[in-house]
Chain A
Amino acid sequence: MNDVAPLSLYVPEPEFRPGDEPDFSGVKIPQAGSVRRPEIDVDPEEIHDLAYSIIRVMNREGEAVGPWAGYLDDDEALKGLRDMMTVRAYDARMLTAQRQGKTSFYMLSLGEEAIACAFQRALSPGDMNFPTYRQQGLLITAGYPILDMMNQVYSNSKDPVAGRQLPVMYTSKKHGFFTISGNLATQFVQAVGWAMASAIRGDTKIAAGWIGDGSTAESDFHAALVFASTYRAPVVLNIVNNQWAISTYQGIARGRAATFAARGLGFGLPSLRVDGNDYLAVYAVAKWAVERARRGHGPTLIEYVTYRVGPHSTSDDPSAYRPQKESDAWPLGDPVERLKNYLIRKGVWSEERHAQAKAQIESEIAQLQKEAEKNGTLHSGPKPPPRRMFEDVYKEMPLHLVRQRQEAGV
Chain B
Amino acid sequence: MARMTMIEAIRSAMDVCMERDERVVVYGEDVGYFGGVFRCTQGLQKKYGKHRCFDSPINESGIVGTAIGMAVYGLRPCVEIQFADYMYPAYDQLTQEAARIRYRSNNDFTVPMTVRMPTGGGIFGGQTHSQSPEALFAHVCGLKTVIPSNPYDAKGLLIAAIEDDDPVIFLEPKRLYNGPFDGHYDQPVTPWKKHPLGEVPDGHYVEPLGKAAIRREGEDVTVLAYGTMVHVAEAAAKETGVDAEIIDLRTIVPLDFEAIEASVRKTGRCVIVHEATRTCGFGAELMAVVQEGCFYHLEAPVIRVTGWDTPYPHAHEWTYFPGPARVGAALKKVMEG
Contact = CB atoms under 8 A, between A and B. Distances in A.
B66 A189 contact: yes
Contacts of B102: 392-395
A191 B77 CA distance: 15
B89 interface: yes
Contacts of A195: 69
Interface string B57-74: 101011001111110111
Interface in A152-187: 160-162, 164-165, 169, 171-173, 178-179, 181-183, 186
Interface of A: 128, 130, 160-162, 164-165, 169, 171-173, 178-179, 181-183, 186, 189-201, 207, 219-220, 222-224, 226-227, 230, 392-395, 398-400
A240 to B, nearest CB: 20
Most chain A CB within a 10 A radius of its CB, from B56, B70, B165, B255: B70
A179 B101 contact: yes
Contacts of A178: 72, 109
18 contacts: A128-B72, A160-B108, A165-B104, A169-B104, A183-B92, A183-B96, A186-B96, A189-B61, A189-B93, A198-B73, A200-B52, A201-B73, A219-B61, A222-B59, A223-B61, A223-B62, A394-B254, A400-B254
Contacts of B97: 181, 183, 186, 190
B96 A181 contact: yes
B65 A186 contact: yes
B105 A171 contact: yes
B110 A395 contact: yes
Given A165-B104, A192-B66, A196-B66, 9 more contacts: A164-B104, A173-B105, A179-B101, A190-B65, A199-B51, A226-B62, A230-B57, A400-B254, A400-B257
A196 B68 CA distance: 11
A164 B141 CA distance: 14
Contact of B75 (A162, A200, A220, A395): A200
Nearest to B93: A186
Contacts of B67: 193
Nearest to B101: A179
Given A178-B72, A186-B92, A196-B69, A173 B108 contact: yes
Interface string B233-268: 000000000000000000001110110000000000
A181 to B, nearest CB: 6
A226 B105 contact: no
B116 interface: no
B310 interface: no
Contacts of B187: none
Contacts of A196: 66, 69-70
Contacts, number: 143
Interface of B: 25, 51-52, 56-57, 59, 61-62, 65-70, 72-75, 77, 89, 92-93, 96-97, 100-110, 141-142, 144, 165-166, 210, 253-255, 257-258
A161 B107 CA distance: 9
A223 B59 contact: yes
Contacts of A207: 69
Contact of B210 (A130, A186, A398): A398
Contact of B106 (A162, A189, A224, A395): A162
Nearest to A160: B106
B131 to A, nearest CB: 21
Contacts of B165: 395
Nearest to A199: B51
Contacts of A194: 69-70, 72-73
Given A164-B104, A171-B109, A191 B57 contact: no
Given A179-B105, A223-B65, A393-B103, A201 B59 contact: no
A256 to B, nearest CB: 27
A165 B109 CA distance: 14
Contacts of B144: 394
Given A164-B103, A171-B104, A196-B69, A224 B62 contact: yes
Nearest to B60: A223
Contacts of A183: 92, 96-97
B109 to A, nearest CB: 5
A399 B100 CA distance: 19
B214 to A, nearest CB: 19
A172 B108 CA distance: 7
B72 A190 contact: yes
B169 to A, nearest CB: 13
B69 A226 contact: no
A169 B166 CA distance: 22
A223 to B, nearest CB: 3
B92 A399 contact: no
Contacts of B109: 171, 173, 178-179
